[in-house]
A and B are shown apart, each in its own frame.
Chain A
Amino acid sequence: MKRQLCIAALVVAAACAPSKGPQGGANSRLADAREAAQRTFVEPGKLDEFYLFYSGGHSGQVYVAGVPSMRHIATIPVFAPYPATGYGFDTESKAMLGGYTWGDVHHPALSKTKGDYDGRWLFVNDNANNRVARIDLRDFKTHQILGPIANSSGNHGSAFVTENTEYALVASRFSIPIPRGTYAPTSKYATDYKGVLSGIKVDSATGEMSVAWQIMTPPFDWDLASTGKEVSRDWVVWSSYNSERAIGRLEVTAAQRDRDYITFVNWRMAAAAAAQGKGKIIAGVRVLNPKEVPGMMFLVPLAKSPHGADFSPDGRYVVGGGKLAPYVTVYDFQKFLAAAESNDTIGNEDGIPVLRYESIRVAEVPVGLGPLHTQFDDQGYAYTSLFVESAIAKWKLGPFDGHDSALVVAKIPVNFSVGHLVTAHGDARHPVGRYLISMNKLSKGRHLNVGPSQPESSQLIDITGDGMSMLYEAYTEPEPHFAQLVRADLLHPIEVYPKAENKNPNAIWAASDAKITRRPGIVEVKIYSIRSYFAPNEIEVQQGDSVILHVTNAEQERDMLHGFGLAAYNINVVMDPGETKTIAFRATKPGVYPFYCTNFCSAMHQEMQGYFLVKPRAGTTVAAGAEGGN
């Protein structure tokens, strides 16, 4: 084996362009540049093989790119307004945003059936305001934002879905006294502050989410989750840090113990306990106390300040990465079950049994410094991102016979300081392999200089065969955390909203149906838009009127979008073909204000405009600075 590797390494080295820098094995260099270019070049007009859905971090959005080209294709606005698609301006999306103007998306999760991606929905978390959103992959739009979820604070360990998308799971990163709004001094952190794990029920037909139950935990900072498969299908694991229950400067205070915890939670048992009425209602949610539901929750020590906790594709192993340790720990799920059954504990935390590490761990694989997150391929390899070492390790998932260091087969340096990584279907029952994307936290001037706010880089790595080779580098919108890489043929989005499906009572399909309805103090308008005009193109109201505009794009042709921008009133919506959007506002400013189509549609797009006329209320004098904003 070793000899073969050496030979492979020599062959690769021979084919390589001269490389700089001392680090990295021969099989981790840049692939031959021409070959790499061919592998990633997707001809104009041709399609990529994979969709990459990557989280946009504190931009609050989700981005869609094609792989292997790494081309950015679309932005899906989720937690922040996005004028480009009119998101956050119409009444529906405005209501979904609930007044928030940002979110922090970390972990997108594709819906699954039997543990594999089914191409229906994408769930994403908001680490900032404890929300979970559902994007429907039929139209690539956000259809629901659930939250802020009661009691939970800092929804980081989310959204991860169970084997058949029964639940999307949520965990608090910041412990607080619950319910939210309760006061307790931080001196009572260890006892009065609580972590909360939540089960979000997902309706199997509509995808509609609702908070089903919660589990109250000690005030650990819950970090990343992974859901079980096959043998472990009823279980979810979360890593945690700050098992010290420390406050203050956590980088020191929460890094004192050699081991923190990974928790194993039986979500099916939690659901059953909640159904039986166990626990108590806090802020309208049934909250379980693990002490009262024996067998539901266990803690297992995991090396210092962990991040990733990842089930292997067959559900047999869990790989835990301790950020401050030079190895990943591999746990055997069967051994976990045996230890849980035989009560093989070394103590407890607020009544939650802590199982014996040595009884469950089957390997400590020395992958390198700062292991964060692990993904898998279809060839029996695992890939772990190494933040501190700024590299990715490729290692064999077994046999775990004590020769742990022999499991590591390759390492590739990345530029720089990788956080999450993603492989094709890398967290599903059947990974696809082939590509890995390293989502790096730092790019440190590898790009054209754009000033001090430097972009994040993502690097495409070929993982076929025994080694890894660098193919491409792109500057992904800030800030990618986790992503999902899914075969393009699994998704079948629509291209227009079929007219027959538009059930909006205010939709109109002919210019002759355009209508201005006036009630005392209210003006409601059904607006028709098509290439290249609005009907009506003049809307007159009285100052102070409530104005409700329903704008229908009557097109049924793909890519014929129309926008409705009423600049003076800070409004811009975009209607896709066959879509009706509603805008509601008060006509506070008298005067004449143009509106126009903001989304380029046709040769006469520029002419697609009209006037919104606001007659001053009797006795109102028009101030010279009427245009001076709201």
Chain B
Amino acid sequence: MTLAAWLSQVLSSRARFAVLGAGALLLLIPLFPLWQITMFANQFPEGLRLSIYAHQLVGGNGGNDLQGINILNHYIGMREIQAADFVEMKFIPFVLGIFILLGLRTAVFARVGNVVDMLVLFCYFALFSLGTFAYRMYSYGHQLSPDAPIKVPGFTPPVFGHQRIANFDVYSYPGFGSLLLGLFVLGLAAVLFFEVRRFRRQAAA
């Protein structure tokens, strides 16, 4: 009965604001890249950059690096990297909107259970997105055209960290947008932490 009581506990007003604040962070997501891939080679000391946003792909150097990367990739038969391939770019903005709405709902109904729902759903959503991203990297690296000028064995571009691919050093790291997503998760977790403490204190009183 304690768990059910906790889940139906009404959030403190501070917690409500915290949930609203966490939801507001999601509004900022489209402004920052979720993931960034940078490639360096001897003749590319300035690097070729690719930024993956919730809703778009943006090449570095005023957008030109995307074409640059695709031109290089076509030699190994990799298909053109383009935003249309990323189904995530269609569902992520939509899902983020749902979480903002859920945040508003939680602030109004203000039950701990709402926060738990949000956190669980969000973790699932984040892991699912990361998984599809990893699969996309795998697909780009493995579905190579058989008539490519340069034949290379299938490979997975790095999802996280550094990898040497031919003459390129490729670095792949989360961007500032992912940091905001992490803050969202931490914010909700903190709310739950404080709500647990408050629940125990009240039970003791």
A binds B: yes
Mark A residues whose CB is within 8 Å of B: 496, 498, 530-531, 555-557, 603-604, 607
Chain B 41-80 against A: per-residue CB contact (8 Å), 1 yes, 0 no? 0000000000000000000011010011001000100000
Q: Are B64 and A604 in contact (CB under 8 A)?
A: no
A-B residue pairs in contact (CB < 8 Å), sample of 20: A496-B64, A498-B62, A530-B71, A531-B71, A555-B67, A555-B71, A556-B61, A556-B62, A556-B64, A556-B67, A556-B68, A557-B61, A557-B64, A557-B67, A557-B68, A557-B71, A603-B75, A604-B75, A604-B149, A607-B149
Q: Which B residues fall within an 8 A CB radius of A? A: 61-62, 64, 67-68, 71, 75, 149
Q: Within the assembled complex, what's the spacing in Å between the Cα atoms of A138 and B121? A: 54
- B75 surroundings in chain A (CB, below 8 A): 603-604
Write the chain A residue with the least CB distance to B45: A45
The residues of B that contact A607 with a CB separation of less than 8 Å are: 149
Chain A residues with CB under 8 Å of B71's CB are 530-531, 555, 557
Q: How far is the CA of A556 from the CA of B67 in the complex (A)?
A: 8
Specify the chain A residue showing the minimal Cβ separation from B66.
A556
Interface of A is mostly: loop
The docked-state distance in angstroms from the alpha carbon of A531 to that of B75 is 9
- What is the distance, in angstroms, from A558's C-beta to the closest C-beta of chain B? 9
Q: How far is the CA of A530 from the CA of B68 in the complex (A)?
A: 10
Cα A508 to Cα B163 in complex, Å, equals 36
Cα A607 to Cα B75 in complex, Å, equals 12
In the complex, what distance in Å separates the CA atom of A557 from the CA atom of B67?
Answer: 9
A496, B61: Cα distance in complex, Å: 11
Q: Please indicate the chain A residues that have their CB under 8 angstroms from the CB of B68 in the complex.
A: 556-557
Shortest B203–chain A CB gap in Å is 65
Q: Which residues of B contact A496 (CB under 8 A)?
A: 64
**Bound form: Cα–Cα A557–B49 in Å:** 13
* Chain A hits for B149, CB < 8 A: 604, 607
Going nearest first, the 7 A-B pairs with the smallest beta carbon separation are: A556-B64, A557-B68, A531-B71, A604-B149, A556-B67, A557-B64, A530-B71
- CB-based nearest B residue for A499: B64
> Chain B contacts of A498 at CB under 8 A?
62
Q: With A and B bound together, what is the CA distance between A531 and B149 in angstroms?
A: 12
Distance (whole angstroms) from the CB of B50 to the closest CB of chain A: 14
Q: How far is the CB of B16 from chain A (nearest CB, A)?
A: 47
> Min CB distance, A499 to chain B, in Å?
8
Q: In the complex, which residues of chain A have a beta carbon less than 8 angstroms from the beta carbon of B61?
A: 556-557
- Determine the chain A residues whose CB is within 8 A of the CB of B62 once the complex forms: 498, 556
Known interface pairs A530-B71, A556-B67, A603-B75; 8 further A-B residue pairs with C-beta atoms within 8 A, sorted by A's residue number? A555-B71, A556-B64, A556-B68, A557-B61, A557-B64, A557-B68, A604-B149, A607-B149
The distance from the CB of A496 to the nearest CB of chain B, in whole angstroms, is 8
What is the CB-to-nearest-CB distance from A121 to chain B, in angstroms, rounded to a whole number? 26
Q: Which residue of A lies closest to B44 (CB)?
A: A557
User: Distance (Å) between the CB of A360 and the closest chain B CB?
Assistant: 57
- Distance in angstroms between the alpha carbons of A604 and B77 in the assembled complex: 14
Distance, CA A604 to CA B75, complexed state (A): 9
Return chain B residues, CB-CB under 8 Å to A604. 75, 149
With CB as the reference atom, state the residue of chain A lying closest to B65: A557
Q: In the complex the two chains form, what is the Cα distance from A556 to B66 in whole Å?
A: 10
Residues of B with C-beta under 8 A to A555: 67, 71
Contacts of B67 in A (CB 8 A): 555-557
B84 CB to closest chain A CB (Å) equals 15
By beta carbon, the residue of chain A nearest B149 is A604
Q: Which of B71, B75, B149 has the most CB of A within 10 A?
A: B71
Q: A185 to B180, alpha carbons, bound, how many Å?
A: 89
Q: How far is the CB of B7 from chain A (nearest CB, A)?
A: 55
